[in-house]
Each structure stands twice: as structure tokens, then as C-alpha cells.
A = this chain, B = another copy of it.
């Protein structure tokens, strides 16, 4: 099963800055060859369900290993059986509509 996941990890407690932890997650995705596009409130991931979910588990594991004792992540998980659609397709389709009207 192919999935699109929007992933946002938040460590609780300790340092109010979380950039180090977010950078570590980005490294996890790159190491595993996953498509991972960062935005200002998370990252869009694309791939097979099990691979994407294993990468997210590894993010929790590594951020705990960095000394963060509590984590809360938010995921949006999209799957569809009617047709293949990439992350880039989704944005392109909306931009096409915006260009047409204006």
C-alpha cells in the first residue's frame, strides 16, 4: 500500500527549540531513500506504508536517544486505490486550477 504522510514530531519538555530533532528526522528519511519534503510545520513523506511507518518509528527512537523523554507526533496518512498520485501531482493540480482562473 502506497501512502502519503504529513509528519510533524514534537518533543515535550526540556529545550523549547526543536530544530535539532527535526533535522535528525530529516536525516532518517534521507538515509532510507524516502521522498521527504520539509515545510514549516512538518514534512511530506511518500512511499510504501511499511517503509514510511518504520522510518517514523526510527524518528521516535532516535529523538528519545537524544535525551527527549516524551514525544507527540501528528500524522496525516493518505492512501488511495483509484489511481497513482505523487505528492508533486497533488500540488501541480491545485496550481493548474489557480492559474486557470486568474
Contact = CB atoms under 8 A, between A and B. Distances in A.
Contacts of A13: 13-17
A81 B94 contact: no
Interface in A17-59: 17-20, 22-23, 26-27, 37-42, 44, 49-50, 53, 56-57
Given A12-B18, A70-B82, A71-B80, 6 more contacts: A6-B42, A10-B10, A40-B88, A70-B78, A70-B79, A70-B81
- Majority secondary structure of chain A interface residues (helix, strand, loop or mixed): mixed
A75 B72 contact: no
Given A60-B77, A75-B74, A81-B64, A97 B12 contact: no
